[in-house]
């Protein structure tokens, strides 16, 4: 039975509807980011606590979106709050606009945790981190193109907003995907200078890279596509070996996977080290943050030491400049780094990560057993503390495999689950936190059971 979404919204979230109408008068679409939109309107949240969210109509939800995975300690963890507030009180300001101690403390922490990281630079988002990583690799390698994988998202900017969710009719041959822009307003230049690769297909990836090795500075990849489709071990090892042979740099976008597959991210979990790593989300403890880290010989290109001011030098001087420009007033924000360090300290406690993974795996297993009992083809796909529910049989290895999933049924179930107090954006992945309790897991499985029965009436 098709779910009447309008009835759901009208019955449960009338205040959200009215606030969204008001927001539309001054904010395009009524949302500050397209990803926040839900048909027929978003649910407006008012409070968070632990594993829970509360909307403006006082509905309670067990939160599995967790700000797209950023809140690994849940909402309002006391240690994270205390770190942020304590830092501001101790410093007597919100920001210095100068170097400060926590920048070095956090950089040292990342160097100790991430196998590939020798030096660090901070940014204000994961998007900025991937953009800086690409700039650094292109400057270092001196070639004009980058390569990315079909279905991988690295931020909403022109260079990588290609073939993230391409129409299958325009996507081209699976073994040689087309570069398909994801937005209006992207210049043809980026379509022509972005090479799209097939994820988890090493033979086809190798063929493309061998043909274009002289043009490609770097590959940027999510080790786990979308946070839930893992690279095969042989694939990720093969890509690393191939890039080293061909003189192509390798960037791991670990914005989603950082601290969620292991304290040292996907690279620790896989035992494969990239040349540069982009981080975000969990790193900020709920505040905006990003970072890149990698080999000293590459990162040194960012150093301004001993160079002339790139902003005042003439064109001839800039042409000779051997430093890559990177700046940002809020980079390394002390409040953000204090919150991030407090979050990492929580994760470093004995068995915290193991318990989080155990909890995630139990929920996955119980959901799979439940759907199986109703003869609904379903599998949970993911790694670490992230997974997604895919209503399909057969292996899910890449973006094109998702076509066989029953997204219509999944969306109906997701709207029913919202009505039953389980929150994630429809069709989105599930992220767990240390705040999710055994009772939360039990309620989640029961809600899925009720949602299935409601939809099947």
> Which residues have a catalytic role annotated?
153, 253, 281
What residues contact 217, with CB distance under 8 A and at least 6 apart? 137, 138, 140, 141, 142, 143, 144, 145, 146, 248, 249
Question: Are β-strands 60-63 and 172-173 bridged in parallel, bridged antiparallel, or unpaired?
Answer: unpaired
Tokens of 450: 């009720």
Tokens of 307: 């160079």
How many C-beta neighbours within 10 Å does residue 41 have?
A: 22
Quick one: which of 110, 134, 160, 158 has its CA closest to 301? Answer: 134
Quick one: which of 106, 83, 125 has its CA closest to 330? Answer: 125
Distance, first Cα to last Cα, the chain: 6
Contact 76, 50 (CB under 8 A): yes
Farthest-apart Cα atoms in the chain, separation = 73
How far apart CA 399 and CA 405 sit, in angstroms, is 11
Contact 363, 443 (CB under 8 A): no
Contact 292, 301 (CB under 8 A): no
How many C-beta neighbours within 10 Å does residue 184 have?
A: 5
Contact 296, 118 (CB under 8 A): yes
Contact 389, 410 (CB under 8 A): yes
Tokens of 382: 């993911």
How far apart CA 339 and CA 78 sit, in angstroms, is 11
How many C-beta neighbours within 10 Å does residue 112 have?
A: 10
Contact 262, 230 (CB under 8 A): no
For the purposes of burial, counting CB atoms within 10 Å of the CB of 58, is it exposed (0-12), middle (13-18) or buried (19 or more)?
Answer: exposed
């Amino acid at each position: 039975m098709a779910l009447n979404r309008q009835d759901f919204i009208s019955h449960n979230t009338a205040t959200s509807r009215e606030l969204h109408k008001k927001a539309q008068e001054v904010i395009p679409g009524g949302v500050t980011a397209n990803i926040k939109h839900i048909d027929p309107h978003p649910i407006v949240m008012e409070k968070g606590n632990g594993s829970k969210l509360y909307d403006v109509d006082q509905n309670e939800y067990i939160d599995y979106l967790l700000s797209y995975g950023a809140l690994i300690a849940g909402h309002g963890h006391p240690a994270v709050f205390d770190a942020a507030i304590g830092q501001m009180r101790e410093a007597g300001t919100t920001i210095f606009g100068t170097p400060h101690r926590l920048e070095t403390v956090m950089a040292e922490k990342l160097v100790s945790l991430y196998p590939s990281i020798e030096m660090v630079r901070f940014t204000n988002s994961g998007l900025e981190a991937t953009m800086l990583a690409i700039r650094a690799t292109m400057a270092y390698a001196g070639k004009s193109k980058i390569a990315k994988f079909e279905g991988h998202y690295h931020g909403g900017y022109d260079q990588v907003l290609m073939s993230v969710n391409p129409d299958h009719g325009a996507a081209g041959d699976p073994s040689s995907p087309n570069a398909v822009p994801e937005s209006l307003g992207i210049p043809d230049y980026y379509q022509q200078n972005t090479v799209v690769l097939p994820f988890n297909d090493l033979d086809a990836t190798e063929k493309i890279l061998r043909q274009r090795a002289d043009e490609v500075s770097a590959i940027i990849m999510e080790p786990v596509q979308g946070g839930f489709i893992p690279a095969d071990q042989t694939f990720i090892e093969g890509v690393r070996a191939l890039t080293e042979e061909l003189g192509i740099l390798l960037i791991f976008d670990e914005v989603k996977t950082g601290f969620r597959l292991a304290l040292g991210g996907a690279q620790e979990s896989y035992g494969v080290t990239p040349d540069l790593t982009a981080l975000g989300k969990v790193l900020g403890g709920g505040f905006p943050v990003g970072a890149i880290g990698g080999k000293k010989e590459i990162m040194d290109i960012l150093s301004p030491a001993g160079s002339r001011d790139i902003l005042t030098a003439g064109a001839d001087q800039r042409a000779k400049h051997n430093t890559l420009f990177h700046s940002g007033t809020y980079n390394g924000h002390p409040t953000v780094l204090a919150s991030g360090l407090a979050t990492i300290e929580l994760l470093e406690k004995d068995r915290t990560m193991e318990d989080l993974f155990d909890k995630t795996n139990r929920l996955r297993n119980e959901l799979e057993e439940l759907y199986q009992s109703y003869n609904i083809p379903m599998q949970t796909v993911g790694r670490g503390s992230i997974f997604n529910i895919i209503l399909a049989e057969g292996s899910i290895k890449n973006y094109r495999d998702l076509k066989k999933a029953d997204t219509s049924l999944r969306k109906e179930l997701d709207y029913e689950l919202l009505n039953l107090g389980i929150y994630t954006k429809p069709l989105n992945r599930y992220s767990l936190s240390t705040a999710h309790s055994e009772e939360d897991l039990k309620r989640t499985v029961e809600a899925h059971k009720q949602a299935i029965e409601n939809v099947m009436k």
